[in-house]
């Protein structure tokens, strides 16, 4: 097992394909000028979040839990690709109300209150991820996904947004393929057949940089020949040492270096995005079809966040030269700016 923080307080950066002992209490968090941070600053700086996006028959059901030192946020949403309609429910609560174990291998995230209920449990030992959630008495999600180290998730540790005084561990994977799945909205089943559904997954924790910005995209689906495909791409965030970029085709992972996002910041929905690598391994066009977002301005918290739902067209090419063509495969893209 890889112990994340060594006895000297240093981070064991890397791409970690096995079990991890997540021990942030051993990390020597320091201020801008190199002094050891006090207990209050440590508690406020330590954060975690997890996201599950389920792409079913014509819809995307998303849910997430965010734990910061001073607030917790739980949300769920349903986007209909056919009609463009979006329904969402988001609640903020005291951080102690959200049970978020800081263990990337074994643990269950739990929340209940304000009309929402979330249970998101992962066990790499048992090779399983389970979700049971309800939002506002309208959106209900229940599913079980095989998920373990055999899936080759991308698990990397980096300085947080380039700051060597902080770190972030993240685990990302797509596509999760359900053993069982139900997504209902107002009592009507929306996910369609489980054997055509796929999901994207993210679990991240660490001492986040107070100023955190990123571009992120992910996709998941099944090709006409039955091959499962997924991808995770990120830029401007924690990829200074070990990139958060990979795609999975038929169970085989391909890691990537830098991924470039070409879009119009003034009008991100005005034209297709280009998501690509310089070496030609990735060449995708993303067409936004809908979005959800948040703008928060408080003395201690600022968030400007937009997540777009849409379709990816283009290709993925592994180092051996084998290419996979994608035609309107569904996924998400995100712009995130925050001071937290």
How would you write the pLDDT of the chain (340 residues) with one tens digit per residue?
899 999 888 999 999 999 999 999 999 999 888 899 999 989 999 999 999 999 998 999 999 999 999 899 999 999 999 999 999 999 999 999 999 999 999 999 999 999 999 999 999 999 999 999 999 999 999 999 999 999 999 999 999 987 889 999 999 999 999 999 999 999 999 998 898 999 999 999 999 888 888 999 999 999 999 999 999 999 988 777 999 999 999 999 999 999 999 999 999 999 999 999 999 999 999 999 999 998 888 777 788 899 999 999 999 998 888 899 999 999 999 999 888 7
Cis amide linkage into residue 175, ω under 30° from 0: yes
Please report the pLDDT score of residue 301 as a whole number. 78
Task: Give the whole-angstrom CA distance, residue 96 versus residue 91.
Answer: 14
| The pLDDT value given to residue 173 | 98
Number of domains in the chain: 1
Q: How far is the C-alpha of 120 from the C-alpha of 294, rounded, in Å? A: 23
Domain extent for 34: 2-339
Q: What six digits make up the tokens of 212?
A: 């955190």
The C-alpha atoms of residue 41 and residue 167 are separated, in whole angstroms, by 15
- The confidence score (pLDDT) of residue 157 equals 96
Three-state SS sequence of the chain: CEECECCCCCECCEECCCCEECCHHHCCCECCCCCECCHHHHHHHEEEEEEEEEECCCEEEEEEEEECCCCEEEEEEEEECCCCCEEEEEEEECHHHCECCCCCCEEEEEEEECCEEEEEEEECCCCEEEEEEEECCCEEEEEEEECCHHHCCEEEEEEECCEEEEEEEEEEEEEECCCEEEEEECCEECCCCHHHCEEEEEEEEEECCCEEEEEEEEEEEECCCCCEEEEEEEECCCCCCCCCCEEEECCEEEECCCCEEECCCCCCCCCCEEEECCCCCEEEEEEEEEEEEEEEECCCCEEEEEEEEEEEEEEEECCCCCEEEEEEEEEEEEEEEEEC
């Amino acid at each position: 097992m890889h112990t994340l923080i060594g006895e000297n307080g240093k981070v064991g950066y890397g791409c970690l394909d096995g079990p991890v002992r997540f021990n942030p209490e051993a990390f020597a968090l320091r201020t801008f000028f190199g002094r050891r941070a006090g207990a209050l600053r440590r508690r406020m700086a330590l954060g975690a979040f997890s996201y599950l996006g389920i792409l079913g028959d014509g819809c995307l059901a998303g849910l997430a839990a965010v734990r910061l030192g001073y607030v917790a946020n739980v949300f769920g949403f349903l986007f209909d690709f056919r009609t463009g309609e979006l329904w969402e429910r988001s609640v903020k609560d005291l951080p102690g109300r959200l049970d978020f174990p800081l263990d990337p291998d074994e643990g269950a995230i739990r929340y209940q209150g304000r009309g929402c209920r979330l249970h998101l449990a992962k066990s790499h030992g048992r090779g399983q991820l389970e979700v049971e959630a309800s939002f506002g008495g309208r959106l209900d999600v229940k599913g079980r996904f095989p998920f373990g180290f055999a899936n080759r998730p991308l698990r990397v540790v980096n300085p947080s947004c380039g700051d060597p005084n902080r770190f972030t561990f993240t685990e990302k994977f797509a596509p999760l393929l359900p053993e069982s799945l139900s997504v209902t909205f107002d009592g009507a089943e929306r996910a369609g057949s489980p054997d055509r559904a796929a999901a994207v997954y993210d679990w991240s924790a660490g001492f986040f940089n107070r100023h955190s910005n990123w571009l992120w995209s992910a996709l998941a689906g099944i090709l006409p020949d039955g091959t499962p495909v997924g991808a995770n791409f990120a830029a401007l965030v924690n990829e200074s040492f070990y990139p958060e970029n990979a795609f999975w085709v038929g169970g085989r992972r391909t890691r990537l270096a830098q991924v470039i996002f070409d879009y119009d910041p003034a009008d991100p929905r005005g034209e297709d995005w280009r998501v690509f690598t310089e070496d030609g391994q990735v060449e995708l066009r993303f067409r936004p079809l809908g979005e959800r977002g948040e703008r928060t301005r408080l003395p201690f918290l600022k968030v400007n966040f937009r997540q777009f739902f849409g379709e990816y067209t283009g290709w993925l090419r592994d180092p051996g030269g084998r290419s996979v063509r994608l035609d309107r495969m569904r996924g998400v893209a995100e712009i995130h700016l925050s001071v937290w």
